[in-house]
Amino acid sequence: MRAPAVMLALVTFVVSACQPFRPLASLIVIGQHVITMNPAGAVLSPGAIAVGGDDGSTILAVGPPEEVVRRFAAREILDASSEVVLPGLVNTHTHAPMVMYRGLVDDLALMDWLNSYILPAEAKTVSPDMVRVGTRLAALEMIESGTTTYADMYYFEEEIAKATREAGLRGVLGQTVIQFPVADAKTPADGLARAEAFIRTFKGDSLIVPAVAPHAMYTLDAAALRAAADVARKYDVPVLIHLAETEDELKQARARHQMSPTAYLESIGFWGPRTVAAHGVWVDDEDIAILAKRRVAVSHNPESNMKLASGIAPVTTYARAGVTVGLGTDGAASNNDLDMFEAMRQAALLAKLATRDPTAVPARDALAMATIGGATALGLDALIGSLEVGKRADLLTVATDSARETPLYDPISHVVYVARGTDVRTTIVNGRILMRNRRVLTLDSSTVIADANRVAGAVRAAVAR
Amino acid sequence: MRAPAVMLALVTFVVSACQPFRPLASLIVIGQHVITMNPAGAVLSPGAIAVGGDDGSTILAVGPPEEVVRRFAAREILDASSEVVLPGLVNTHTHAPMVMYRGLVDDLALMDWLNSYILPAEAKTVSPDMVRVGTRLAALEMIESGTTTYADMYYFEEEIAKATREAGLRGVLGQTVIQFPVADAKTPADGLARAEAFIRTFKGDSLIVPAVAPHAMYTLDAAALRAAADVARKYDVPVLIHLAETEDELKQARARHQMSPTAYLESIGFWGPRTVAAHGVWVDDEDIAILAKRRVAVSHNPESNMKLASGIAPVTTYARAGVTVGLGTDGAASNNDLDMFEAMRQAALLAKLATRDPTAVPARDALAMATIGGATALGLDALIGSLEVGKRADLLTVATDSARETPLYDPISHVVYVARGTDVRTTIVNGRILMRNRRVLTLDSSTVIADANRVAGAVRAAVAR
C-alpha cells in the first residue's frame, strides 16, 4: 500500500510545481478510494477533494488527484493515499449526554430499563454540568468514529449546542418537550419556552441547527404535541420525535385513541415537513403511507431496537414507499456506543435477516442511509451527505492497512462490513480538521475523560442509593 | 485510571521485596478487573494471575494482586491495572484461509454466493501457498482481536496447523472431507486419507488438536460420513461439520431422506461425542433432543447467519435442552472478519430480537459462549475457557481508557457491549505473550500483509477471468 502512496505524493508535487497560477484551496485530500455518494454513485480510485471558499468550508472540486492538483494550489495536502475517503457520517437519532449511562444497566425490557433505572438516574443526575460533560465525551467519541453531524434530543440543549460547536461538530439539536417534570422544565409549556429561546439563540449558526423535540405521542397530550409542531412551523426548524418504538406503545395508542401512534399524530395535525421520527418499528402500510404523504423521515436504530427487543423497522418497505430513512445509534445507554459504522453494518445484516433476502440493504444502501439518507432526513441534503462541489466539506478517512482490513476488493464493502469507528484516521467538518491521524484537535481527550469519570462517580452513587 | 495503576505497582514492589522465599512464576498479570469465568462467576477488581509450571504454560494462582505477589516471585509482571483481563476467546467455527476472500462478494444468497463465486474462486486459487498465507493473515487478525483458540475446517490443513503453531495460537483443526474434487483431494477417500495422515502428524501437539471435518450431510454420501466418524473414533479426535445452516438444506434433506439433517445423521450412526455442529439454525425439538442425547455441541455463528439470511439458531432453546453452545465467526468471506467481540455482541443482541425478550442471553451468557462454552464444545474445558488454577494460561487484556470505553460500570457489560477486537492490548496463549501492547510478537505484520496482498492479486485475476 505504501508504493502507490509515494507515487501519488510525487505526482502531486511535480504537477503542483509546474502549475504556478491556480486558485488556492485551503486543503486538498488525496485518497486511495474516494466514495462520493453523489447521484451517479461515483467512486474514484484514487481521488482527491479540494476544499476552500471564503471560510474554507466548501468543496471546490472532486476528481482524479492529478486533475485536482492541476486546478488548485493547496495550503495543505492531506495524504490519505492508502485510505478510503467518504462523506461524514450522519447520526439521525441520539441523546448525546446519555453516554454517562453507558453500560449502567443492560439486558432489560425498555419500560423496565427506562422506568426503573434510566429515569430515576436522570432525575438524580441530569444537570447543566452533567449535560456539558456528557456531550463533550460523546463529541470525542463521535469525532473518533467519523460522525460529523448528529441529531440530538435531550435536556439543557443549549449546553449541548455550546459543547457541540466547541468540538466543531455539526448538530441538529432538539430541546425536549415532555409532559412530566424533568430537570430543565416543570411542564411542557416550560419545555416549549426553553425550545423557543434555544431556537432564537442558535438559528443561523454555521454548525448548529436548532430543533424542537416533543418526546413521543405517549408522553405528551395533544395540545402539547400541537404546540411543539407550531413552534417548529413558526421558526421553520426540524422536529425530532420518537415514534412506534415498541409494541407496548402501539397497544397503548390503540387502547387510548383507537389508532396507531402514526395515525394519531396525523389525526391531531402534528406531522409536517422536516420531521424525523425515530425508530418507526410498529407501523403498518397505512402508517407508512401517512409518513410518505407528510414527507416525514424515519431514523432507523437497529442496535437499540435489537438490544431492547423492540422489533425491526421495515426499512425496505419504507424505501419502496418513498420514505427517507437515515440511521441512528440511539443513546449509548441502549447501544452501547455512538459508532455509526456499527449502525451501518447492523442495518445491512438485520435487513437480510428480517426479509430473509440476503440481497436486501446491500452495502451501498447501508452507506447511503448513513450519509445522504441521513442528510436528507434532517433537511440538510443541499449542504452535506455526499462529496460534491458546493457542499460543505464534511468527510472522513478510513484506514485499510491492518490484518483485518486486508485484502480490500471493494471500498464500499470494506467501509460497511469491515471498517469500525476505530479505523477512522481523519475527521473533517466544515473544512476544519477535527481529528488528524486519530488525534482529536478540538477537545483535550484526557480532560474530557477525567470529567466524565467524575460525573460517573455521581451516577454510581445516585443509583446505589 | 493511572492513580490505581501506580498504587498497585507500588504495592506489588513493596510486597515483593518483603517476601524473598517464594516459588517463581514466569509471569504475573495484574488487571483492574479479572473476569475469571470460573463456576462461581468470580470477577476480581483488581485481580492477578500467576503463570508458570514446567513449561510456563499453567495458571498457578488467581486472586487479589497483594495475595498473588505475596505467594509468587515473578520473572515478569504485566501491568494491566487499567485494563480488563479475561479468558482467551474461543472461535468454534471458521475457515481461516478464507480471509483471502474477505469482501470479494457480498449481499448474495448462500447457494448463489457459494456456487457462483466462492467455489469457483476456490477452484482457481486454493493451494498450499494460498492456505499458508491466508492462515498467517487470519492468525494475525485473531491474535490482534483476542482469539486464543480456533476451530477450523479447510483444505491443506497441515499448512494451517504449521502456520497456527508458528503464530502461537491454539487450534482444533479439521481436514475437510467432501464428495466433489477439491484442491487437496479428488475423492472423499483421498480426503479421509489426508485426514488420517494429518491426525497422526499432529496428535499430542501442545497447541494443535487435529480433527476430521466432513463438510456437511448434503455434500457427502452416507458411506463417507460414516467413514469420517469412524476415523474420529479410531483416533479419539473431534469431528467438525456444518449442520442445518439453511432452509434449503432442510428441504433437500426432507426430499431425499424424509428426515431433517440432524435426524438423517442420527439414522446413519454419525453422531458421536466431541462433535461440533456449526450453525444448527434449522432444527426442531426432536433434532435438539438428538443433539443433547449424543452430546453434540453447536457452534452459533450469528453474523454469518444474518449476512447470508440463513436464519437464527435457537440458542436459548439449546441451552435449556442442555446442548453446549459455542460461538463462531464463520469464514471472513461471510462475516467479514474474525472478531469474536462482534460475535459476542451479535449473539446477545440477536437472541433478544429472536425471543422478543431483552433479558435473553445477557452479557454474562454471551461471554460464557465465547469462552467456557466454546472450550466445552471443543472438549477442551479441562484445559482452557476460564482463568482457574491448573488450566493453560490463555488470556487477554482489554483497554478501558478511550472515550467510547468511558465510563465503565460493569466489566462484563463492557467486554460484551462496548469492547471491540481493536481494544485488545495483550494476548497470551499457553503462557506465551503473542501480542504486547498491540504489537504482535510471533508474526511480522508487514510481511504477512504484503504476502496476503500478493495472493489477493491472484484472487482478483481469477475472478475477473
Name the burial class of residue B76, with classes exposed (0-12), middle (13-18) and buried (19+) by CB atoms within 10 angstroms of its CB. exposed
Distances (CA, A) of B56 to A140, B74, B287, B387, B438: 42, 11, 43, 15, 22
Q: Are residues A212 and A355 in the same domain?
A: yes
Q: Is the same domain home to A240 and A134?
A: yes
Q: Is residue A351 in a domain?
A: yes
Residues B180 and B125 in one domain: yes
Cβ atoms of residues B280 and B243 within 8 Å: yes
* Gap from B337 CA to chain A (nearest CA, Å): 6
Which of B:119-148 have CB within 8 Å of A?
137, 140-141, 144-145
- pLDDT tens digit sequence for B116-148: 888 889 999 999 999 999 999 999 999 999 999
The residue-averaged pLDDT of A323-341 equals 97
* pLDDT band at A133; cut points 50, 70, 90: very high
pLDDT of B112 reads 81
How close is the nearest chain B Cα to the Cα of A187, in Å? Answer: 31
Q: For residues B161 and B135, what is the distance between their CA atoms, to the nearest angstrom?
A: 9
Question: Which residues of chain A does B305 touch, with a Cβ-Cβ cutoff of 8 Å?
Answer: 353
Q: Does A459 touch chain B (CB under 8 A)?
A: yes
Question: Residues B54, B93: one domain?
Answer: no
| Three cell numbers, residue B34 | 479479572
In a domain, A465, yes or no: no
Checking ipTM against 0.90, whether it exceeds it is: yes
Q: Are residues A192 and A245 in the same domain?
A: yes
Which regions of B199-316 does DSSP assign to beta strands (E)? 208-214, 239-243, 275-279, 297-300
- Longest alpha-carbon distance in chain A: 74
pLDDT at residue A111 in the model: 77
Chain A contacts in chain B segment 305-344 (CB below 8 A)? 305-309, 311-312, 335-339
pLDDT tens sequence across B353-411: 999 999 999 999 999 999 999 999 999 999 999 999 999 999 999 999 999 999 999 99
Q: What is the mean pLDDT of residues A31-52?
A: 98
CATH number of the domain residue B56 falls in: 2.30.40.10
Same-domain pairing of A55 and A169: no
Task: Determine contact, residues B232/B274, Cβ cutoff 8 Å.
Answer: yes
Residues A179 and A320 in one domain: yes
Find the radius of gyration of the CA atoms of chain A: 22
Q: Same structural domain for residues A358 and A399?
A: no
Indicate if the alpha-carbon torsion angle B433, B436, B441, B443 is positive or negative. Answer: positive
For residue A460, being part of any structural domain is answered with: no
Distance from CA of A311 to the nearest CA of B (A): 6
So what's the pLDDT on residue A117?
87
For residue B190, the model assigns a pLDDT of: 94
* pLDDT of B2 higher than 70: no
Average pLDDT (A8-34) is 79
Asked whether the beta carbons of B226 and B269 are under 8 A apart, the reply is yes
Task: Give A 340-359 residues with CB within 8 A of chain B.
Answer: 346, 348-350, 352-353, 355-359
**Do A342 and A272 share a structural domain?**
yes
Q: Does B402 touch chain A (CB under 8 A)?
A: yes
B105 found inside a domain: yes
Cell digits for B200?
497422526
Distance of CA B54 to the CA centre of its chain: 26
- Among candidate residues A310, A345, A377, the one where a domain is terminated: A377
Give the best residue of B32, B99, B106, B447 to mutate against chain A (max A CB count within 10 A).
Answer: B106
The CATH number of the domain holding residue B335 is 3.20.20.140
Residue B369 placed within a domain: yes
B61 and B164 both lie in a single domain: no
The whole-angstrom distance between B419's CA and the closest CA on chain A is: 10
Q: Is the pLDDT of residue B273 over 90?
A: no
| A435 in any annotated domain | no
Residue corresponding to grid cell 497560477: A21
Q: Are strands B297-300 and B325-327 parallel, antiparallel or unpaired?
A: parallel
Give the Cα separation of B52 and B223 in Å (integer): 47
Contact between A100 and B407 using a beta-carbon 8 Å cutoff: yes
State the pLDDT at residue A112.
81
The per-residue pLDDT for B463 is 84
On the 0-12 / 13-18 / 19+ scale of CB atoms within 10 A, B40 is exposed
Average pLDDT over residues B17-39: 90
Distance, first Cα to last Cα, chain A: 55
- Per the domain annotation, does B452 fall within a domain? no
Q: How many helices (H) and strands (E) does chain A have?
A: 18, 19
pTM over 0.90: yes
Record the cell numbers describing residue A411, joined without a space.
471500498
Most B CBs within 10 A among A33, A115, A404, hence the mutation to make, goes to A404
* pLDDT reported for residue B166: 98
Q: Give the residue numbers spanning the domain of A62.
A: 3-87+395-429
For A110-124, B75-89, B375-389, which range has the lowest pLDDT when averaged over its residues?
A: A110-124
| Smallest CA–CA distance from B449 into chain A, residue | A403
Task: Please check whether residues B316 and B361 belong to one and the same domain.
Answer: yes
The verdict on a CB contact (< 8 Å) between A145 and B404 is yes
- Please identify which residue in the block is written with the cell numbers 477525567: A450
The total number of structural domains that make up chain B: 2
Tens-place pLDDT, residues B408-433: 999 999 999 999 999 999 999 999 99
Among B140, B305, B417, which would you mutate to test the A interface (most chain A Cβ atoms within 10 Å of its Cβ)? B417
In angstroms, rounded to a whole number, what is the distance separating the alpha carbons of residues A416 and B336? 10
Which of A315, A344, A377 is the last residue in one of the domains?
A: A377
Specify whether B28 is located in the same domain as B104.
no
Mean pLDDT, residues A447-460 taken together: 97
Please state which of the ranges A107-116, A124-133, B289-298, B305-314 shows the lowest mean pLDDT.
A107-116
CB atoms within 10 A of CB A204: 9
Take residue A374 and report the three cell numbers written for it.
441521513
CA distances from A83 to A80, A300, A395, B204, B281 (A): 5, 28, 12, 45, 38
The whole-number pLDDT of residue A1 equals: 41
Chain A residue with Cα closest to B354 = A309
CB contact under 8 A, A358 and B417: no
Position B458 in a domain: no
